[in-house]
Amino acid sequence: MKTKICSHCKHELATSRFWRDQWNCKKCNRELAAANIARRKAAGLRTASSLTRWRLKYDIFCHYSGGEPHCAICQTAFLEFLSLDHINGGGNAHRKDVVGSDLYGWIKRNDFPAGFRVLCHNCNQSMGAFGYSPAEDPELAMGPPPPPRTFQGTPDDVLAVMNKYSHLPSGEGFKRVAEELGCAVGTVYGYRKRFIKEGRWNTPSERVKNTTGKAT
């Protein structure tokens, strides 16, 4: 069995306990790497791997920004806020089917292909969710929602309008009832449940019984 002496712990170990062309054993390598990461974090420094990643992202942002990195919509230049956007959409499918988890590495290996731009996370999220960014056109920005619709009438008012549309399928009919009364469809279904219990709504035919007991 071939052996080597670890230059760190000084133990003579089988060569299988070493990485290729390394003189520290695997165990010592892991311990030294962890200690180095902890030391750099304690000093407020980035690790070597994060620095490499940071430089790669910076180079890619510079390329697609045509200079200093900035959001193509709102122009923010804080690197912490920036991300890459697939201009024509389909980013999730592209990462899943082609790129994998290393988008930035794939871009560099493929010589910076077209189809990408730099956006801040806010603009990127808004473009994905709504198809626009309010930073591009403030008039598109969402305002406060309308106040909830409240119905001020009596149960008999509701029943009368339900009777009016009772010839329609319940889903369509109740939608028309809600529109006429200015309330939510769920409110109409709530009254329907109440009227069924009171015997004022005939569920098989979806007809309201009049006072004589005959379906109208």
57-61, 63-67, 154-158: least confidently modelled range: 154-158
Q: d(Cα 76, Cα 99) in Å, to the nearest integer? A: 27
Higher pLDDT, 79 or 205: 79
Mean pLDDT of the chain: 85
Architecture per CATH, 144-216: Orthogonal Bundle (1.10)
Q: Can you give the pLDDT at residue 209?
A: 45
Supply the pLDDT for residue 126: 93
Say if residue 203's pLDDT is above 80: no
Task: Write out the residue limits of the CATH 1.10.10 domain(s) in the chain.
Answer: 144-216
| 3-state SS assignment for residue 63 | helix
* pLDDT tens sequence across 91-136: 788 777 777 668 888 899 999 999 999 999 999 999 988 889 999 8
User: Is residue 48 over pLDDT 80?
Assistant: no
Residues linked to residue 5 through DSSP beta bridges, in sequence order: 12
For helices 170-181 and 155-164, the axis angle rounded to 10 degrees is 130
- DSSP strands (E only) in 81-216: 82-86, 116-120
In this structure, the strands spanning 82-86 and 12-14 are: unpaired
